[in-house]
């Protein structure tokens, strides 16, 4: 059976999907009209690649629902996951700004709805919308902090700390405003993102739950103390 490319599955966003785009309310009515005419939404199946290393960036992407991972190219050695992308997150603005090719892969870990804004419309909004510029500037600043934290996580030998800091990144209220207090993620998905076995992730979650930082629920977990996840130390 022939797989239909993601772009050919694209459709206009629904009203509910527009309401989940965090930068949309910052636009004026005319800017919203222009963005709405250009935005598309597509359904990605598990394993689908949304962005591929070396491919020119033609869209700025956001995750409406689901879970994505950002990683390197396995042709250059072992796969390294840089970060996960949770609902409400928009990514790749630096690449689109510079009109470059992607230096990372973005892949769906589960069935996901992905929105795309064409790069030409992105640049038009950069040139005409103060509200859009503020959003992108905040994104870039927060993204810098995220990747500094990711480098720190890579050097941690304590699995409990790796899980704590990775969870803190996934519930970042600026980068992933649609998550809220409850992160819908399985232990296996978290294991893929953190680079640990599912069994070891389970042990770390139990330890974090005993500390009062999280509460494990059916289909995910509830964050009770975000600061505790961000500042967790070796015991």
Phi and psi for 62 in degrees, rounded to 5? -140, 150
Question: Is 50 exceeded by the pLDDT of residue 178?
Answer: yes
CA 193: distance to chain centroid? 11
State the Cα–Cα distance between residues 17 and 163, nearest whole angstrom.
Answer: 30
Q: How confident is the model at residue 4 (pLDDT cuts 50, 70, 90)?
A: confident
Work out the end-to-end distance of the chain between its first and last CA atoms, rounded to an integer number of angstroms: 52
State the Cα–Cα distance between residues 43 and 45, nearest whole angstrom.
Answer: 7
Q: Give domain status of residue 56, yes or no.
A: yes
Task: Tell whether 182 and 85 lie within a shared domain.
Answer: no
Q: How confident is the model at residue 1 (pLDDT cuts 50, 70, 90)?
A: very low
Tokens of 47: 């394993």
- Residues with Cβ within 8 Å of 188's Cβ and at least 6 positions away in sequence, in order, are 198
Which residue range(s) make up the domain with 165?
A: 158-230
- The three-state secondary structure class of 56 is strand
Task: Tell whether 15 and 108 lie within a shared domain.
Answer: yes
Task: Tell whether 19 and 131 lie within a shared domain.
Answer: yes
As a whole number, mean pLDDT of residues 15-41 equals 96
Q: Where does a domain end: 123, 149, 175?
A: 149
Q: Say if pTM beats, i.e. exceeds, 0.85.
A: yes
The size of the chain, in residues, is 235
State the Cα–Cα distance between residues 50 and 146, nearest whole angstrom.
Answer: 21
As a whole number, mean pLDDT of residues 1-16 equals 80
Q: Give domain status of residue 174, yes or no.
A: yes
| Cross-strand pairs, 56 | 101
Q: Where does a domain end: 149, 181, 201?
A: 149
Task: Tell whether 193 and 111 lie within a shared domain.
Answer: no
Task: Tell whether 17 and 121 lie within a shared domain.
Answer: yes
The kind and range of the H/E element at 83 are strand 81-85
Q: Give domain status of residue 235, yes or no.
A: no
Task: Tell whether 53 and 129 lie within a shared domain.
Answer: yes
Max avg pLDDT among 55-69, 134-148, 176-190: 55-69
Q: How many domains does the chain have?
A: 2
Q: Where does a domain end: 124, 149, 174?
A: 149
Residue 204 maps to which CATH number? 1.10.10.10
Task: Tell whether 19 and 126 lie within a shared domain.
Answer: yes
Q: Give domain status of residue 1, yes or no.
A: no
Tokens of 61: 């992407």
Task: Tell whether 112 and 220 lie within a shared domain.
Answer: no
Task: Tell whether 135 and 42 lie within a shared domain.
Answer: yes
State the Cα–Cα distance between residues 167 and 37, nearest whole angstrom.
Answer: 35
Task: Tell whether 133 and 172 lie within a shared domain.
Answer: no
Dump pLDDT digits (tens) for 125-163: 999 999 999 999 999 988 888 777 766 666 667 888 889
Task: Tell whether 131 and 204 lie within a shared domain.
Answer: no
State the Cα–Cα distance between residues 182 and 219, nearest whole angstrom.
Answer: 10
Phi and psi for 26 in degrees, rounded to 5? -75, -10
Residue 46 maps to which CATH number? 2.60.120.10
Which of residues 104 and 8 earns the better pLDDT score? 104
Task: Tell whether 134 and 180 lie within a shared domain.
Answer: no
Quick check: 192 and 207 in contact, CB under 8 A? no
Dump pLDDT digits (tens) for 205-234: 999 999 999 999 988 999 999 999 988 765
- How confident is the model at residue 102, as a pLDDT? 93
State the Cα–Cα distance between residues 135 and 171, nearest whole angstrom.
Answer: 18
Q: Give domain status of residue 223, yes or no.
A: yes
């Amino acid at each position: 059976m022939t797989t239909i490319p993601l772009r050919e599955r694209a459709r206009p966003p629904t009203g509910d999907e527009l309401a989940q785009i965090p930068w949309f309310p910052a636009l004026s009515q005319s800017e919203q009209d222009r963005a709405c005419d250009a935005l598309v939404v597509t359904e990605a199946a598990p394993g689908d690649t949304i962005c591929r290393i070396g491919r020119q960036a033609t869209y700025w992407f956001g995750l409406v629902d689901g879970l994505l991972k950002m990683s390197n190219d396995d042709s250059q050695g072992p796969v390294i996951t840089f970060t996960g992308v949770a609902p409400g997150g928009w990514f790749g603005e630096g690449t689109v700004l510079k009109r470059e090719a992607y230096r990372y892969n973005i892949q769906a870990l589960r069935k996901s709805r992905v929105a795309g804004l064409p790069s030409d419309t992105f640049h038009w909004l950069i040139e005409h919308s103060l509200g859009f510029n503020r959003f992108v500037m905040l994104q870039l600043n927060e993204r810098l902090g995220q990747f500094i934290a990711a480098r720190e996580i890579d050097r941690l030998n304590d699995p409990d700390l790796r899980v704590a800091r990775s969870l803190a990144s996934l519930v970042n209220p600026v980068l992933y405003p649609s998550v809220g207090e409850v992160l819908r993620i399985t232990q296996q998905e978290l294991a893929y993102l953190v680079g640990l076995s599912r069994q070891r992730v389970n042990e770390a979650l139990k330890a974090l739950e005993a500390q009062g930082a999280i509460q494990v629920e059916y289909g995910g977990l509830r964050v009770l103390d975000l600061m505790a996840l961000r500042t967790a130390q070796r015991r």
